[in-house]
């Protein structure tokens, strides 16, 4: 099964000081399943305390980007981040993204309407 099993396997292949390994080790111990979602800042603080300081943006552009292109995939919720273990965890991640995409679609629709009121075609 992917997700947590893949995270465990990936941890074994990475050097102990690798930021992704430190992140996954932390999440395997603290953030498995959407019920155990951990605020991103907690993970960033853990990375810093292990010699891997990074900003929120750096974390998103490196760690999250890397895992979301693999079979580990760190899920998101309003409570924080988590490793997917069950179908309910995957559903929670899906729901989070669908809601986020719908909100962005609403913003895009508003922009288009405002531009159209100005006689601009977007």
Which pLDDT tens digit goes with each residue over 11-48? Answer: 999 999 999 999 999 999 999 999 999 999 999 999 99
pLDDT band with cut points at 50, 70 and 90 for residue 59: very high
CA-based end-to-end distance of the chain = 44
For residue 70, the model assigns a pLDDT of 85
Distance CA 120, CA 58 (A): 36
81 - beta bridge partners? 38, 76
pLDDT band with cut points at 50, 70 and 90 for residue 108: very high
Q: Give the pLDDT confidence of 68-106 residue by residue, as tens digits.
A: 888 899 999 999 999 999 999 999 999 999 999 999 999
Task: Indicate whether 2 pLDDT > 80.
Answer: no
Neighbours of 50 (CB within 10 A): 16
Task: Indicate whether 1 pLDDT > 70.
Answer: no
The answer to whether 83 and 7 are in contact (CB under 8 A) is: yes
Sign of the torsion angle spanned by Cα atoms 104, 107, 109, 115 = negative
Which residue in the block uniquely carries the two structure tokens 């951990």?
38
Phi, psi torsion values for 107, nearest 5 degrees: -65, -45
The answer to whether 23 and 76 are in contact (CB under 8 A) is: no
For residue 68, the model assigns a pLDDT of 86
């Amino acid at each position: 099964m992917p997700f947590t099993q893949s995270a465990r396997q990936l941890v074994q292949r990475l050097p102990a000081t690798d930021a992704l390994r430190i992140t996954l080790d932390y999440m395997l111990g603290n953030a498995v399943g959407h019920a155990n979602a951990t605020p991103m800042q907690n993970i960033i603080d853990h990375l810093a305390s292990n010699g891997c300081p990074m900003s929120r943006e750096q974390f998103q552009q490196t760690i999250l980007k890397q895992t979301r292109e693999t079979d580990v995939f760190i899920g998101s919720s309003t409570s924080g981040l988590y490793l997917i273990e069950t179908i309910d965890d995957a559903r929670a991640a899906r729901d989070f993204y669908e809601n986020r995409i719908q909100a962005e679609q609403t913003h895009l629709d508003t922009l288009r309407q405002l531009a159209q009121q100005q006689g601009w075609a977007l």
